[in-house]
C-alpha cells in the first residue's frame, strides 16, 4: 500500500512538473500550416496536427492528434507581401515612424510594411539583438544598422543594392542624396544600404558665454588658434577648481582629418595615425587639456559628459552631432547656437558625418518588396514624415531646402545656424563619413584604450599614436 | 521506517525505492539539463575549436584559439587579474556585510518590516538609474563620496576616472547589492532553533558568544551557499563595467566577461569567445571544488544524509 | 517566556542594571539602521525627484531636489507613450508562472539532493553547479537556435519553461536549508507511515517556509526585472516586458530620464509590496525546531 501510494502521487507530481512546461507549449495557438491560396472556390480536405492535453488515468498527458477538416476556400484577395523593418525603437521613434508606415501602406496594395521595433533602445543591446537574430536566422527583411555596419557588410549580411537602385530610379531618386551619405553606404565599392538620415558633427556654442567676454562668435573662418584663444578667456578657475571650461574634448578623428591626416589608409589595410599630421592634431588636443586647461580631462568627463556639461551653462562649446539638439532643446538659461567646425590652422575643415543605414537582409525572402520599403523610408516623403521633431537631418539635398527644415527653431537658439550650418558643410564637401571597416569595433576599442594615456597627459601624442598604429596594424593584418 | 514497508520489501527494497525516488525527484532538473543546457554547452565547446563569426558557418581551427588566448593575448591576463582581484575582495566583503546587516535586521526592534524593505530596495533598482546615481556619487568634484571625505579633510581621488581607483570604485558599488544576500541570511537565521539561545541565556552568555558559537555555526550551510554562489557570480560580473567604465580607464576595469562579450558580439569572434568561456569555466570549477572539499571541515548540517 | 532573538529579555528576575545595559543596544541598532537606511534612500530620492522634472532640468549642478513645478503627469505620460500597461501585464504573467514553477520544481530536486540516497547524487549536484560556471554568452546562441527549431521564438515559453525544470541557484539554496532540518522529524513521520513523498510534503516543506519565501522573492525579482531573455526571445511589441519598455527610453539622440525614472519607480512597486508582506515568513519561531527528548 505504501508503494502504490508513493508511486501514484509521486508519479503525478513529477510528471506534473515536467508537463507544466509542455502544457504551456500546448496552450500556444498551434502553428497552422499555410492555407493554400487558390483562385477558385474549392472544398479541400486539410489535415492538421493538433496538440491536446487529455487526462489518462488521472495523469495529464499531451497527445498529438491528426485532425482532418474540410475547408472551403473562397477566393481571397491576393495576400499582400509582408515586409518588416526593425529599428531600436523608443516612444519618439515609434511616433516618428507611424505616419511613414501609414503612407507606405496606402501607397502600395501588394506590399504591407510592418514596423518592428526591437525594444532595446540605442546602445549595445541593439547590437546583441541583431546578432542573436542573425544567428537564429530570423532577422526582419529591412533593418537599421548602427556602428557594426562594416562588419556585417563584410560577412555578407546585406543585399547589395546597386541593381535595385538602377532598376528603380523613381522611388530611389539617387542623385538627391548627399554625396557624403552615399559614400558612407559603400563597402568595397558596392552600395550596401540606403542612407536613412544623418548629420555632420558641428560645433555647438554658448552665445552668452562668448558675449560675456566680448568674444567674436564662431563662424566659417574660425581657426583652431582663435578657438583656443576664446577658450582661454572663457575658462574660469576658482580655488584650483575649474568652474567653466572653454570647450569640450574635440572629436579626435575630426581633428586628425582637418589637419590633413587620416587614421586609416584609404583601403583600410594600414593605420596611419603615426604620421606627422595626425600626431600634430592629437598633440593639439592634449595641450588644450593639460597645458592650457581649457578642456576637461578624463576626471571631469567621468563625472559629467560634455553634452550634459554644456546644458549646465559652464562649457563654452563642444563638438556634437546635430542630433544633439534633442538633448539641448530644453535649455532655458542661456542662448546657444551651432557653428561650422573650426578650421585647422592649415585652413582645412573636414568634419565627420554620422549616418543611419537602412539595409536589406540577405536572408529575406522578399527582396523586391523590401527594397520598396527601404526606398520609401529614405525617400523625400518618408524622411519628411519622419523628421517631425527636427533632430534628425535629412540625407537629401532637396529636403534641406524645404521651409519646415529651414525654419525649425527651438526656444534658446540664437539664430538659424542650427539649420544652415550642417547642410552647408555637406554641400561644401567638408563632411565625410567613417569608411566602413570590418574590424571597426576592435580597432576603436584599442584606440580608445590607448587614448586614455593621451587625455590624462601621461604619454605624449607621438608615443600614443605609435602604440595605436602598432596595435591596429596587428588587428588588420590577422 | 514503516513496518509494512520493511516486511513488504526488506531493507534492500527500501533502498531501491530510495534510489529510484532520488532520480525521480531530481528528474525535472536532469530533464531540463539534457534538453536545454547540455546541447548548448557541447556546442560552445565545439565553437571553441573553430573560427565562428555567428553569421557564416564555423571553420575548424583546432587549438589555435586556445594557443592565442594563453600565449598571445595580454588582455586575457589583464582581465583575469582584474576579475580575480574583484572576486577575492568583494566576496568576503559582501558576506561579512550581508551577515552584519541581516543580524541587525533580525533584532527584536519595532518597525522591522520597514527597515528590511528599505534595505532590500537597492537590490531591485534598475541598471541605468543605478549607473547614474553612482556616477554622481563618484564624481570627482561634485560627488557625494568626495564631499564626505572633504568633511574629514581628505581630498578624494577621481574614482571612476582614475585608473587606480576605478576597480575599487566598482568593488564599493558591489556593496550596494547586500540586500539580496540579506534575504538569504534572514531565511537561514530563522532556522536556528530558539532553544539553543534560551539555553545560552540560562548560562549567562554574552551576545558575542551567542554570535560565534551558536548563530554562525548554525548558519554555515547558508554561508557555504553564499560563498560558492559569490565565487561563481563575482567571477562573471560585467554589466557594471560595461555601463559605467567600458573597461577603462586603461583597461583597469576590463573584466573577463566584458572582454569575452566584446569578442563574441562586437568583434564577431564567437570561437575565441568560447575558448575564453571554457577557460573561465575551468577557473571557477577549480575554485568551487576546492571550497566544496573544504566544506567538510567547517560546514555543519543538522540533518545531513550522507549519500552513496 | 524567553525572547527568540539575540537580546535576551528574561524578565524582572534580573537586577535593574541589567536592563539599563540592554536598552541602549536596541537604540544603537535603531541608530545604525536609520543611518544606513538614509544612505540607501538617497538614490531612491534622486529617482523620485528626477521623475518629477522635465528634461531640461535633469542635469543641473548642484542637483535640484524639489523640482517646482512637480510634473506628476510624467507618470501618466509613461503609459501614454508606450503600451506600458500591456508590458506590465505580460511581465506579470511570466513572473507568476515562473515563480510557481521555480518553487515546485526546485524543492523537489533539492529534496532529492538533501534527503535521498542514490548513486551519483553528489556528482549530479556538482554538475548542476557547473552549469552556472559557463558564461551565458556562449550558450545563448545555441539555445536560441534550439528554441527556434521548437518554434518558441516570440512566445513566453523560453522565459517560463526553464523555471519548471529546476534552477541551480534556488535548488542549491533549498538543499542547504533542507539539510539543516533535523532528521528526528523525518524518522517520526516515517514511523507513522509516511512515504518518501509524504515526508517532502508534510515535514520538509512546511519547515522550509522562510527559504521558500526567499526563493519566491528572488524568482519574482528575477523574472520581473529580467532583461536578457526577453530581449532575445520577444520580437512583437505586444509581447514586450517592463525591462524592454524601460530600455526604450534611451532614444537615438538623448535619454528621457524623467520618464525613465517614473517608469522605473512604477515598476518597483510590486516588488516592494510583495517583499513587505512576505516578511511574515521571516519571523523566527514559525519553524518547529525539533522533537525534544
Question: Where does the pLDDT of residue A27 fall: very low under 50, low under 70, confident under 90, or very high at 90 and above?
Answer: very low
Give the model's confidence band at A7: pLDDT under 50 very low, under 70 low, under 90 confident, else very high: very low
- In chain B, what residues touch C178 (CB-CB under 8 Å)? 303
Closest listed residue to residue C51, CA positions, set C268, C230, C270: C268
Q: How confident is the model at residue C169 (pLDDT cuts 50, 70, 90)?
A: very high
Output the pLDDT for position A345.
94
Q: Which residues contact B223 (CB under 8 A, 6 or more apart)?
A: B95, B99, B216, B299
Among B119-133, C26-40, C265-279, the least confident range: B119-133
Task: State the pLDDT at residue A430.
Answer: 94
The complex's ipTM?
0.90
Mean pLDDT of chain A: 84
- Give the start-to-end residue ranges of the domains of chain B: 3-47, 73-298
Cα–Cα dist B229/B90, whole Å: 13
Say what the pLDDT of residue A31 is.
40
Whether the per-residue pLDDT at A448 is higher than 50: the answer is yes
Judge whether residue C103 has pLDDT over 90: yes
- Rounded mean pLDDT of C141-164? 94
| Substitution target from A445, A471, A474 for chain B, most B beta carbons within 10 A | A445
Confidence class of residue A44 from pLDDT cuts 50, 70 and 90? low
C-alpha distance across the termini of chain A, in Å: 71
* Grid cell listed for A464: 600614443
Segments of chain A assigned to CATH 3.40.190.10: 81-200+354-406, 202-353+435-476
Q: How far is B124 from chain A (nearest CA, A)?
A: 20
**pLDDT the model gives residue A72:** 56
A380: enclosing H helix or E strand? helix A380-386
Alpha-carbon gap, residue B257 to A206, rounded angstroms: 42
Give tens-digit pLDDT for A206-229. 999 999 999 999 999 999 999 999
The residue among A371, A443, A409 whose CA lies nearest residue A151 is: A443
**Best C39, C61, C126, C134 residue to mutate vs chain B (most B CBs within 10 Å):** C134
**Long-range Cβ pairs for the range C264-267 (8 Å, 24+):** C264/B125, C264/B126, C264/B128, C264/B129, C264/C47, C265/C47, C265/C48, C265/C51, C266/C75, C266/C78, C266/C84, C267/B126, C267/C88, C267/C224, C267/C225, C267/C242
pLDDT at A63: 57
Q: What is the rounded distance in angstroms from the CA atom of residue A128 to the CA atom of residue C232?
A: 8
Residue A16 has pLDDT above 80, yes or no: no
pLDDT band at A74 (very low <50, low <70, confident <90, very high): low
Chain C residue closest to B43 (CA)?
A: C142
Return phi, psi of residue B60, to 5°: -65, 130
The C-alpha atoms of residue A39 and residue A106 are separated, in whole angstroms, by 25
C88–chain A nearest CA distance, Å: 15
Residue among B17, B249, B251 whose CB faces A298 most closely? B249
CATH pick for B73-298 out of 3.30.1180.20, 2.40.170.20, 3.40.50.1820, 1.10.3720.10: 1.10.3720.10
- Do C193 and A14 count as a contact with CB atoms less than 8 A apart? no
Kindly report, residue by residue over C59-85, the tens digit of the pLDDT.
Answer: 665 567 787 788 889 999 999 989 999
Question: d(Cα C176, Cα C180) in Å, to the nearest integer?
Answer: 7
Q: Which residue of B has its CA nearest to C228?
A: B239
The domain A202-353+435-476 is placed in CATH, from the list 3.40.50.740, 3.40.50.11900, 3.40.50.1100, 3.40.190.10, at: 3.40.190.10
The yes-or-no verdict on residue C6 having pLDDT over 90 is: no
Output the nine-digit C-alpha cell for A128. 546583441
Model confidence, pTM: 0.86
Q: Average pLDDT of A133-139?
A: 91
- The set of chains that have 3 or more CB pairs under 8 A with B is A, C
Average pLDDT over residues C243-257: 86
Q: Give residue C55's pLDDT.
A: 74
**Per-residue cell: A170:** 523613381
With contacts defined as CB-CB under 8 Å, which chain B residues touch A3?
5, 8-9, 17
Q: Are C252 and A122 a contacting pair at CB < 8 A?
A: yes
- Summarize pLDDT for C194-224 with one digit per residue, the tens: 899 999 998 899 889 889 999 999 999 999 9
pLDDT at A25 over 50: no
3-state secondary structure of A260: coil
Q: Name A247's bridge partners.
A: A317
CA distance A308 to chain C (A): 7
Contacts with B193 from chain C: Cβ below 8 Å: 289-290
- The pLDDT value recorded for residue B142 is 78
pLDDT given at position B245: 87
Q: Is A195 on the interface with C (CB under 8 A)?
A: no
**Partner-chain residue, chosen from C40, C171, C210, that has the shortest CB–CB distance to B190:** C210
Q: What is the pLDDT of residue C9?
A: 43
CATH 3.40.190.10 fits A81-200+354-406, yes or no: yes
Decide if C117 and B221 are in contact by the 8 Å CB cutoff: no
Strands A241-247 and A315-321: parallel
CA separation for the pair C274, C216 (Å, rounded): 10
Closest chain B residue by Cα to residue C166: B29
Residues in chain B, pLDDT under 50: 1-7
Q: Is B74 an interface residue toward A (CB < 8 Å)?
A: no
DSSP annotation of A442? H
Per-residue model confidence (pLDDT) at position B238: 85
Per-residue pLDDT reduced to its tens digit, A341-361: 999 999 999 999 999 999 999
- Distance in angstroms (rounded) separating the CA atoms of residues B228 and B288: 6
Q: Give the span between the Cα atoms of C25 and C21, in whole angstroms.
A: 8
Nearest to C220 by CA among C43, C73, C102: C102
Mean pLDDT of chain C: 85
Distance from CA of B119 to the nearest CA of C (A): 7
Amino acid at each position: 500500500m505504501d508503494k502504490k501510494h508513493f508511486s501514484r502521487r509521486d508519479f503525478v507530481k513529477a510528471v506534473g512538473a515536467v508537463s507544466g512546461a509542455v502544457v504551456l507549449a500546448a496552450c500556444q495557438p498551434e502553428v497552422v500550416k499555410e492555407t493554400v491560396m487558390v483562385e477558385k472556390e474549392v472544398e479541400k480536405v486539410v489535415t492538421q496536427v493538433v496538440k491536446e492535453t487529455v487526462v489518462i488515468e488521472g495523469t495529464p498527458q499531451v497527445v498529438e492528434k491528426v485532425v482532418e477538416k474540410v475547408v472551403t476556400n473562397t477566393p481571397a484577395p491576393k495576400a499582400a507581401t509582408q515586409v518588416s523593418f526593425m529599428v531600436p525603437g523608443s516612444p519618439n521613434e515609434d511616433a516618428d515612424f507611424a505616419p511613414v508606415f501609414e503612407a507606405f501602406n496606402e501607397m502600395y496594395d501588394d506590399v504591407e510594411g510592418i514596423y518592428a521595433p526591437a525594444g532595446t533602445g540605442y546602445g549595445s543591446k541593439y547590437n546583441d539583438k541583431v546578432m542573436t537574430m542573425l544567428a537564429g536566422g530570423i532577422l526582419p527583411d529591412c533593418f537599421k544598422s548602427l556602428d557594426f555596419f562594416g562588419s556585417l557588410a563584410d560577412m555578407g549580411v546585406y543585399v547589395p543594392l546597386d541593381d535595385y537602385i538602377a532598376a528603380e530610379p523613381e522611388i530611389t531618386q539617387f542623385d538627391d542624396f548627399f554625396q557624403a551619405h552615399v559614400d558612407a553606404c559603400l563597402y568595397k565599392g558596392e552600395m550596401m544600404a540606403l542612407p536613412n538620415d544623418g548629420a555632420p558633427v558641428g560645433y555647438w556654442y554658448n552665445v552668452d558665454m562668448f558675449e560675456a567676454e566680448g568674444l567674436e562668435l564662431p563662424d566659417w573662418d574660425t581657426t583652431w588658434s582663435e578657438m583656443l584663444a576664446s577658450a582661454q578667456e572663457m575658462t574660469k578657475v576658482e580655488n584650483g577648481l575649474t568652474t567653466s571650461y572653454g570647450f569640450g574634448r574635440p572629436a579626435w578623428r575630426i581633428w586628425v582629418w582637418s589637419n590633413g591626416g587620416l587614421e586609416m589608409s584609404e583601403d583600410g589595410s594600414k593605420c596611419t595615425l603615426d604620421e606627422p599630421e595626425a600626431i600634430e592634431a592629437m598633440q593639439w588636443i592634449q595641450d588644450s587639456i593639460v597645458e592650457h586647461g581649457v578642456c576637461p580631462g578624463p576626471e571631469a568627463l567621468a563625472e559629467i559628459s560634455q553634452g550634459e556639461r554644456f546644458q549646465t551653462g559652464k562649457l563654452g562649446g563642444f563638438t556634437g552631432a546635430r542630433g544633439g539638439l534633442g538633448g539641448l532643446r530644453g535649455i532655458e538659461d542661456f542662448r546657444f547656437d551651432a557653428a561650422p567646425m573650426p578650421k585647422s590652422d592649415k585652413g582645412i575643415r573636414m568634419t565627420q558625418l554620422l549616418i543611419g543605414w537602412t539595409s536589406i537582409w540577405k536572408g529575406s525572402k522578399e527582396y523586391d518588396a523590401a527594397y520598396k520599403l527601404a526606398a520609401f523610408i529614405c525617400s523625400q516623403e518618408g524622411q519628411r514624415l519622419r523628421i517631425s521633431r527636427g533632430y534628425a537631418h535629412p540625407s537629401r539635398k532637396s529636403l534641406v531646402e524645404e521651409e519646415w527644415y529651414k525654419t525649425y527653431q527651438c526656444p534658446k537658439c540664437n539664430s538659424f545656424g542650427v539649420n544652415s550650418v550642417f547642410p552647408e558643410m555637406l554641400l561644401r564637401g567638408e563632411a565625410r563619413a567613417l569608411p566602413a571597416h570590418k574590424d571597426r569595433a576592435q580597432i576603436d576599442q584599442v584606440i580608445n584604450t590607448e587614448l586614455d594615456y593621451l587625455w590624462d597627459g601621461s604619454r605624449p601624442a607621438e608615443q600614443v599614436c605609435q602604440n595605436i598604429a602598432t596595435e591596429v596594424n596587428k588587428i588588420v593584418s590577422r | 521506517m514503516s513496518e509494512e514497508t520493511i516486511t513488504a520489501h526488506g531493507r534492500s527494497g527500501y533502498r531501491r525505492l530510495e534510489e529510484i525516488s532520488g532520480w525521480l525527484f531530481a528528474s525535472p532538473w536532469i530533464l531540463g539539463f539534457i534538453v536545454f543546457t547540455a546541447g548548448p554547452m557541447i556546442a560552445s565547446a565545439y565553437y571553441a575549436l573553430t573560427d565562428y563569426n555567428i553569421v557564416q558557418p564555423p571553420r575548424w581551427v583546432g587549438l589555435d584559439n586556445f594557443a592565442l588566448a594563453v600565449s598571445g593575448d595580454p588582455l586575457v591576463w589583464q582581465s583575469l587579474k582584474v576579475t580575480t582581484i574583484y572576486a577575492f575582495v568583494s566576496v568576503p566583503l559582501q558576506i561579512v556585510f550581508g551577515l552584519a546587516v541581516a543580524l541587525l535586521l533580525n533584532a527584536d526592534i519595532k518597525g522591522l518590516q520597514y527597515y528590511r524593505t528599505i534595505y532590500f530596495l537597492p537590490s531591485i533598482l534598475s541598471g541605468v538609474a543605478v549607473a547614474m546615481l553612482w556616477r554622481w556619487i563618484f564624481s570627482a568634484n561634485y560627488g557625494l563620496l568626495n564631499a564626505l571625505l572633504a568633511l574629514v579633510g581628505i581630498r578624494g581621488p577621481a574614482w571612476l576616472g582614475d585608473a587606480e581607483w576605478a576597480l575599487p570604485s566598482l568593488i564599493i558599488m558591489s556593496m550596494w547589492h547586500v540586500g539580496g544576500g540579506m534575504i538569504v541570511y534572514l531565511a537561514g537565521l530563522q532556522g536556528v532553533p530558539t532553544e539553543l539561545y534560551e539555553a545560552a541565556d540560562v548560562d549567562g552568555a554574552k551576545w558575542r558568544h551567542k554570535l560565534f558559537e551558536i548563530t554562525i555555526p548554525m548558519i554555515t550551510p547558508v554561508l557555504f551557499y553564499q560563498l560558492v554562489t559569490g565565487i561563481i557570480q563575482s567571477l562573471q560580473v560585467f554589466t557594471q563595467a560595461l555601463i559605467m567604465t567600458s573597461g577603462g580607464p586603461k583597461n583597469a576595469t576590463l573584466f573577463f566577461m566584458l572582454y569575452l562579450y566584446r569578442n563574441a558580439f562586437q568583434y564577431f569572434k564567437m570561437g575565441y569567445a568560447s575558448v575564453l568561456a571554457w577557460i573561465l569555466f575551468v577557473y571557477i570549477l577549480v575554485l568551487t571544488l576546492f571550497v566544496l572539499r573544504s566544506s567538510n571541515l567547517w560546514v555543519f548540517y543538522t540533518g545531513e544524509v550522507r549519500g552513496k | 517566556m524567553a525572547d527568540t532573538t539575540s537580546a535576551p529579555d528574561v524578565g524582572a528576575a534580573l537586577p535593574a542594571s541589567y536592563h539599563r545595559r540592554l536598552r541602549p543596544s536596541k537604540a544603537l541598532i535603531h541608530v545604525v539602521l536609520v543611518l544606513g537606511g538614509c544612505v540607501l534612500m538617497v538614490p531612491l530620492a534622486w529617482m523620485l525627484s528626477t521623475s518629477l522634472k522635465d528634461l531640461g532640468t535633469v542635469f543641473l549642478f548642484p542637483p535640484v531636489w524639489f523640482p517646482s513645478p512637480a510634473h506628476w503627469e510624467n507618470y501618466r505620460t509613461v503609459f501614454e507613450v508606450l503600451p506600458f500597461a500591456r508590458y506590465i501585464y505580460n511581465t506579470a504573467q511570466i513572473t507568476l508562472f515562473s515563480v510557481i514553477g521555480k518553487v515546485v520544481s526546485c524543492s523537489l530536486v533539492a529534496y532529492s539532493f538533501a534527503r535521498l540516497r542514490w548513486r551519483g547524487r553528489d556528482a549530479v549536484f556538482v554538475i548542476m553547479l557547473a552549469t552556472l560556471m559557463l558564461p551565458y554568452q556562449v550558450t545563448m546562441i545555441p539555445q536560441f537556435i534550439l528554441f527556434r527549431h521548437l518554434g518558441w521564438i516570440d512566445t513566453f515559453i523560453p522565459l517560463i519553461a526553464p523555471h519548471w525544470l529546476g534552477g541551480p541557484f534556488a535548488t542549491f539554496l533549498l538543499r542547504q536549508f533542507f539539510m539543516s532540518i533535523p532528521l528526528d522529524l523525518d524518522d517520526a513521520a516515517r514511523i507513522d507511515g509516511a512515504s518518501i513523498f509524504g515526508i517532502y510534503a508534510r515535514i520538509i516543506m512546511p519547515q522550509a517556509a522562510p527559504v521558500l519565501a526567499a526563493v519566491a522573492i528572488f524568482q519574482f525579482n528575477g523574472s520581473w526585472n529580467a532583461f536578457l531573455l526577453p530581449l532575445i526571445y520577444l520580437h512583437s511589441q505586444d509581447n514586450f516586458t517592463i525591462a524592454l519598455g524601460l530600455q526604450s527610453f534611451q532614444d537615438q539622440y538623448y535619454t528621457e530620464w524623467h520618464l525613465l525614472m517614473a517608469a522605473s519607480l512604477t515598476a518597483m512597486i510590486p516588488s516592494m509590496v510583495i517583499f513587505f508582506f512576505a516578511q511574515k515568513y521571516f519571523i523566527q519561531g514559525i519553524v518547529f525546531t525539533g522533537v525534544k527528548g
